Chains A and B, each alone.
Chain A
């Protein structure tokens, strides 16, 4: 198998290549696409927030790695969210084609948990730098 064939095999099969099921109502297809785009924008917002924290904020006195501690996880989460959104789009489209119930998404939970964790870390960093 060529390198491009191997690379293509890494991707999950797209729903249109899935021979099972029928083409769903276009409105559901569009809704699924919009949801994917909304997650992509959320991922971009996380990336820009992370980059802004690392590059644009002044350093926290007494916490030299504070900015990286806050910014880098946000950027990584942005990348993870983009891939997860793609996988979610595939699963939803497949379920729509087959007339099955839509699969449950863990993405809102992951996002909420990460934002909460980042808020706690931010509070700790700010308190530590204020105490110095």
Chain B
């Protein structure tokens, strides 16, 4: 077992520093979720030019992704009592469901875009 990858090691450098680094990692992850939501919104905006219904569906996914990402940025409550889905140390339970949802969303969006690409009417003038 590699100790550096597990919870015990960073604590040796001081719990405060470890907590700070974890907090920064959480913030970076939260920003990554936001970027992903923005990517969905941008794709939805682009698809809107080609197919309004599909564009709106993809645009609707963006706030959902943003909400999913907010789970990462939740902090433990001040009284130390764990919130739902969160252990006492403040870390969210590894969100396999969230990861699955993103995968399903991207695959679904890809299939929708594939259908538009194969059967949709092109709008070459949209770039002009």
Residues of A within 8 A of B (CB): 11, 14-17, 22-31, 33-34, 36-38, 40-41, 43-45, 47-48, 50-52, 54-59, 67-68, 71-72, 75-76, 78-79, 82-83, 85-86, 89-90, 93, 96, 98-99
A19 shortest CB reach to chain B, Å: 14
Q: Which of B5, B49, B114 has the most CB of A within 10 A?
A: B5
Contacts of B123 in A (CB 8 A): 55-56
| B114:A75 contact, CB within 8 angstroms | yes
Interface of B is mostly: helix
B103 shortest CB reach to chain A, Å: 4
Contacts of A59 in B (CB 8 A): 122, 124
B44 shortest CB reach to chain A, Å: 10
| B43:A30 contact, CB within 8 angstroms | no
Kindly state whether residue B64 has any CB partner on chain A within 8 Å.
no
Ordered by A's residue number, 9 sampled pairs between the chains whose C-beta atoms are within 8 Å are: A11-B100, A24-B7, A37-B35, A47-B106, A54-B117, A58-B124, A79-B114, A82-B103, A99-B2
Q: How many A-B residue pairs have CB under 8 A?
A: 160
The CA-CA distance from A59 to B125 in the complex, in Å, is 11
A33 shortest CB reach to chain B, Å: 6
Kindly state whether residue B78 has any CB partner on chain A within 8 Å.
no
A62 shortest CB reach to chain B, Å: 16
Closest residue on chain B to residue A93 by CB atoms: B94
| A33:B99 contact, CB within 8 angstroms | yes
B9 shortest CB reach to chain A, Å: 7
Other A-B contacts than A44-B39, A48-B42, 15 sampled, CB-CB below 8 A, are A15-B94, A25-B9, A26-B22, A37-B33, A41-B39, A47-B109, A55-B120, A55-B122, A68-B117, A72-B114, A76-B110, A76-B114, A79-B110, A82-B110, A99-B5
The CA-CA distance from A26 to B28 in the complex, in Å, is 13
Selected from A26, A40, A48, the residue in CB contact (under 8 A) with B7 is: A26
Given known contacts A57-B124, A86-B100, A33 and B32 CB-to-CB distance under 8 angstroms: yes
| A27:B21 contact, CB within 8 angstroms | yes
| B102:A40 contact, CB within 8 angstroms | yes
| A30:B28 contact, CB within 8 angstroms | yes
B12 shortest CB reach to chain A, Å: 12
Q: Please provide the chain B residues from 69 to 128 with a CB less than 8 Å away from any CB of chain A in the complex.
A: 72, 91, 93-96, 99-100, 102-103, 106-107, 109-111, 113-114, 116-118, 120, 122-124, 126-127
Kindly state whether residue B63 has any CB partner on chain A within 8 Å.
no
Closest residue on chain B to residue A16 by CB atoms: B94
